[in-house]
Chain A
Amino acid sequence: GENVEQHPSTLSVQEGDSAVIKCTYSDSASNYFPWYKQELGKRPQLIIDIRSNVGEKKDQRIAVTLNKTAKHFSLHITETQPEDSAVYFCAASEAGGSYIPTFGRGTSLIVHP
């Protein structure tokens, strides 16, 4: 089955800095890579996703890159703000039919004002 590794487990940055979270996956059949943000005491919510036919996707201050050859994908957050503080999960899945994402263990991002 799919295995997703996520690093770092904790990331502490100053407000305004950039943050990068990296994930690797093992199953070459995976073709859909969502990122979820979970604020303290709240449910995980999708913030951005990327499909395997695209190398990069941006949405305002967040972007995701995908390297299919190396089987890794990354989340980039620029100009971080205190409200970006949360746990971020990457996931990988093979879309089509059964959609079951395998999640990484999460990265706790702390943005210091």
Chain B
Amino acid sequence: KAGVTQTPRYLIKTRGQQVTLSCSPISGHRSVSWYQQTPGQGLQFLFEYFSETQRNKGNFPGRFSGRQFSNSRSEMNVSTLELGDSALYLCASSGTGLITEAFFGQGTRLTVV
């Protein structure tokens, strides 16, 4: 069974630009969550999508948005990039059921210069 796949693995962008990250969940998983990881801040929850609907949202500005497609693949978009957006962005997929493990992708390392 293929794991969670994130593309690209690395990105370098300039302030003011926008970026789109992609996440393909494990086959059969319908929930995809996105996290921002920075040193000392741990894993900050961005949002979660389930069956193409945003079900939960963290405390991030509106420059951070996402969507999910009918095949459960998800994209995350960040507009008007700031230096502080430099981070590792991780997505995690989960199956259905009462208690399910979150499986993480390798992440996309975004550097804003």
Which residues on A are within 8 Å of B, measured CB to CB?
Answer: 6, 9, 32, 34, 36, 42-46, 49, 51, 89, 95-96, 98-106
Number of interface residues of B (CB under 8 A): 24
Q: Could you count the A-B residue pairs with CB atoms below 8 Å apart for me: how many are there?
A: 54
9 contacts between A and B (CB under 8 A): A34-B102, A43-B4, A43-B105, A96-B99, A98-B50, A99-B99, A103-B43, A103-B45, A104-B42
Residue of A nearest to B43 (CB): A103
Bound complex: CA A46 to CA B100 (Å):
11
Q: Which listed residue, B31, B94, B101, B106, touches A42 by the CB 8 Å rule?
A: B106
Which residues on B are within 8 Å of A, measured CB to CB?
Answer: 4, 31, 33, 35, 40-43, 45, 48, 50, 55-56, 90, 94, 98-102, 104-107
Are A89's CB and B50's CB within 8 A? no
Bound complex: CA A31 to CA B33 (Å):
19
* Residues in A whose Cβ lies below 8 Å from that of B104: 36, 43-45
Are B99's CB and A32's CB within 8 A? yes
